[in-house]
């Protein structure tokens, strides 16, 4: 019967830049925000292109166009909520006294 392995006396805490924090090793918070904004822009561009194609008569599937438009809208709303949280956090930090 295998026993329970012992707990090391000094636990290993993952450090930024290690495999446990992949975003930190690739540019951190700023890079993650820029990537998210890029994805939202791409979704909006795709939705715009699909809507234009539908209006020109090149497409017949209204459902897929509406789904693309709604995905872009939800992604934009999420991005705005994240922005609002970041602004609120900045304002809270700026009110702190050190």
Question: Average pLDDT, stretch 36-52?
Answer: 95
Question: Radius of gyration of the chain from Cα atoms?
Answer: 22
pLDDT, residue 42, reads 96
Place of tokens 């890029």: 38
pLDDT, residue 27, reads 76
What's the CA gap between 33 and 40, in Å, rounded? Answer: 11
The dihedral built from the CA positions of residue 12, 14, 17 and 18, taken in this order, carries a sign that is positive
**CB neighbour list of residue 5: distance below 8 Å, 6 or more residues apart:** none
Locate the domains of the chain by residue range: 22-95
C-beta neighbour count of 33 within 10 angstroms: 15
Give me the chain's average pLDDT, please.
Answer: 83
């Amino acid at each position: 019967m295998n026993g329970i392995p012992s707990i090391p006396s000094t636990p290993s805490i993952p450090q930024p830049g290690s495999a446990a924090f992949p975003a930190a090793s690739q540019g951190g918070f700023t890079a993650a925000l820029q990537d998210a904004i890029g994805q939202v822009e791409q979704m909006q561009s795709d939705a715009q292109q699909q809507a234009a194609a539908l209006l020109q008569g090149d497409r017949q599937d209204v459902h897929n166009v509406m789904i693309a438009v709604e995905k872009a809208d939800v992604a934009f709303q999420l991005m705005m909520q994240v922005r609002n949280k970041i602004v609120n956090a900045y304002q809270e930090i700026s009110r702190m006294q050190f």
